[in-house]
């Protein structure tokens, strides 16, 4: 089985935002897969995706702080035509990733007990972000409720 969906996420403030439920809701076919993979790709170069802890919100605060310290806006960037947060956003996106793949078993994403899929919004006002979800898997009978 193959299927693909394109979704538009709501606009988020700068920082890391849990989007697992947006992804699951947009690809209901996951529930029909016995074994497979869900590939999630972001169609932007100033935001990124990561798989990380979803239990303690302090993790997201610390991730944003670390990212801002590793790639500050105050550096003498050459590419500044789109604002002071644009070039740092591109670098931060390269340090994380534009896609993730999550295994599926018996109709469920196999994220760890403390993991979630995150949008890392690196711009102050990045706008709505588009994701492409590509599912490939072997269907099963009555896999998940």
Low-confidence ranges of the chain (pLDDT < 50): none
Q: What three-state secondary structure class fits 42?
A: strand
The number of angstroms, rounded, from the C-alpha of 14 to the middle of its chain's C-alpha atoms is: 14
Any idea where the domains of the chain sit in the sequence?
Answer: 2-139
The number of angstroms, rounded, from the C-alpha of 24 to the middle of its chain's C-alpha atoms is: 12
Per-residue pLDDT of 113-139, as tens digits, reads 899 999 999 999 889 999 999 999 999
φ/ψ of 73, rounded to 5, equals: -70, -20
Mean pLDDT of the chain: 93
CATH of domain 2-139: 2.60.120.460
Per-residue pLDDT of 81-91, as tens digits, reads 999 999 999 99
């Amino acid at each position: 089985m193959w299927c693909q969906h394109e979704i538009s996420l709501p606009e988020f403030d700068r920082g890391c935002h849990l989007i697992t439920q947006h992804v699951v809701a947009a690809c209901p076919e996951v529930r029909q897969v016995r074994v497979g993979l869900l590939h999630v790709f972001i169609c932007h170069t100033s935001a990124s995706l990561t798989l990380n802890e979803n239990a303690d919100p302090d993790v997201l605060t610390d991730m944003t702080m670390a990212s801002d310290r590793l790639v500050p806006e105050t550096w003498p960037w050459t590419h500044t035509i789109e604002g002071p947060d644009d070039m740092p956003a591109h670098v931060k996106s390269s340090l994380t990733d534009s896609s993730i793949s999550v295994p599926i078993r018996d109709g469920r994403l196999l994220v760890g007990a403390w993991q979630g899929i995150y949008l890392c919004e690196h711009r102050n006002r990045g706008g709505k972000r588009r994701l492409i979800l590509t599912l490939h898997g072997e269907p099963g009978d009555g896999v998940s409720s």
